[in-house]
Amino acid sequence: MRSEAKNVDAYLAELPEDRRAPLTRLRTLCRTELPTHTEVMAYGMPAYTRDGEPEIAFASQKQYISFYLMRSDIREAFTDRLADQDMGKGCLRFRNPATVDYDLVQDLLRATAKGPGKIC
């Protein structure tokens, strides 16, 4: 579900109640763990860029919450932990908002923050 929101606050405000809390928590984690990244709206969703390149994003989709990990080096480093997750090429999907694995997300964000890498 692509949003026309101009900023992340507006994006979060337009979400249904059951999605707002988990996505707000994802935003808080991103802002905490990615202090040198810039928060932007890109492709209708919140994204976090380094030197203009998006590395992380998240979104409320019709059937799930998406967490986009655009760094292939981080995905490779977390192969074992991501193996049991519902994941596409670069999209971690949480079909139930109550099951978002915030510990995994935090670890992915911390690894991303350590330095630049290859964007897929």
DSSP annotation of 4: -
At 112, list the tokens: 């991303």
Residue 119 resides in a domain: no
Instruction: Give the model confidence (pLDDT) of 7-59 as tens digits.
Output: 999 999 999 989 999 999 999 999 999 999 999 999 999 999 999 999 999 99
Structure tokens, 104: 């995994």
Is 40 part of a structural domain of the chain? yes
**Residue range of the domain that includes 34:** 8-111
The end-to-end CA distance of the chain, in Å, is: 22
- Please state the domain count of the chain: 1
In this structure, how many other beta carbons lie within 10 angstroms of the beta carbon of residue 78? 17
Its pTM stands at 0.93
State pLDDT tens for residues 49-79. Answer: 999 999 999 999 999 999 999 999 999 999 9
CATH code, 105: 3.90.1150.200
User: Cα–Cα distances in Å, from 33 out to 6, 16, 78?
Assistant: 23, 26, 17
